[in-house]
Structure 1
Amino acid sequence: MKIVVTGATGGVGSWLVDHFAAAGHDVLGLDLDRPPRERENATFLAADLTDQGQAWDAILSFDPDAVVHFAAIPRVGIEPDAETFLTNVTSTYHVLEAAGQAGADVVWASSESIYGAVFAAEPWLPEYFPVDEDHPRRPEDPYATSKLVGEDIAAMTARKHDVSVTSIRPSWVTFPGEQQTAAARDQFDPETAEPNGNFWTYVDVRDVVSIVDAALENASDGHETYLAVAAENFLDRPTAETIETVFGDLPEECALEGDESAFSSAKARAELEWEPTHSWRDAEGEPASGPSFVDR
């Protein structure tokens, strides 16, 4: 296949480029800057995807079979709020519209923050646990709202161009050899912890790569959304008990058992035959690794 990957030098995007190139696909990586080194089976272009001409020229000239869109300002607090919203929405429109014109299937990165609790001024409890794809989306920050608009763009693209578009909603993405989950766990005290609208969920970058692969292999008609989360929280504590202690309450409908993730990946299991296979228990002790064509 010919595959475009946007955000090609980023944390997740670089792993996607590496994966598809290693599998023998012809990959075009797009990002604001080219990486410092080359990668066999991959070509890199520096492109500003908020510029329609650059985005459409790069993608349509390549004539891809699939477009994997992971370029974005990844959270609030990096750029001014308006810049975060406009960059993410504009780039998503340009990339998905070009993909549709090329007749390419699309997988792109939405976010579990789309429900609204993650970056809320005061984190709140959802209507039920575990949260699934049908839970109401009520964002109140520019990043999550850009993902809400992005999912509408995704649905429009699927209708307009009759291509498959899959919106993946990853949790906090972690990487092998990192110690961020370990540090957060070591510092965590449920009696004094601040409410966390992410509910201590995560997903290993290798599982993000595998769900993107599964979405391309099982491309459905129209637009579909899937949560991508690890099976358990990273605290090594019972999830419902921890949430109740920190928030002082639980929704009436709560079916969480043990350290089960507060977000459900049951839909991806059923429809994509995808399972998260990497846990913090193993990943924290692994050597730090990543694609060799980028600096880490």
Structure 2
Amino acid sequence: MRVAVTGAHGKVGRATVRALQAAGHEVTAIDLTRPVHERAAVPGFFFPDRPFLPDYVPVDEEHPARPQDPYALAKHFGEQLMDAAVRRCAARLYGDAVEVRPHDRVDASAISCEKAVRLLGWRPKRSWRDYLDEEGHTH
């Protein structure tokens, strides 16, 4: 099977590419950045990288999480906190009953960055397309 892996320079992306290749798939690795090898830093502790291979591919939401460093553990814990909050509260989704503010991008999810653009000159990058010029080249 031909598979494209986005985020291929990240920790999970690298492991996913290796697993797919080992399974005999034709893999195209895609990322917006050059590979960066960073480790989570906690004063006094060193967390060596350990090989991570998923139990199965493609990885989905049901795949077990196995955080290996403080950063990954904090992200996993944050997800568990939000799951618990949703289970505990009586909040419900009301669909079309909530008005969505007008926004200039279909991929913006009604989140406006106009204040950051106006005050700081910051331009958000939400898609790989934002890194291309009119001719389709990176800039």
- Scaled by the length of structure 1, the TM-score of the pair is 0.19
Q: Is the strand fraction higher in 1 or 2?
A: 1
Q: Is the helix fraction higher in 1 or 2?
A: 1
Q: Quick one: higher RCO (CA 8 Å, sep 6+), 1 or 2?
A: 1
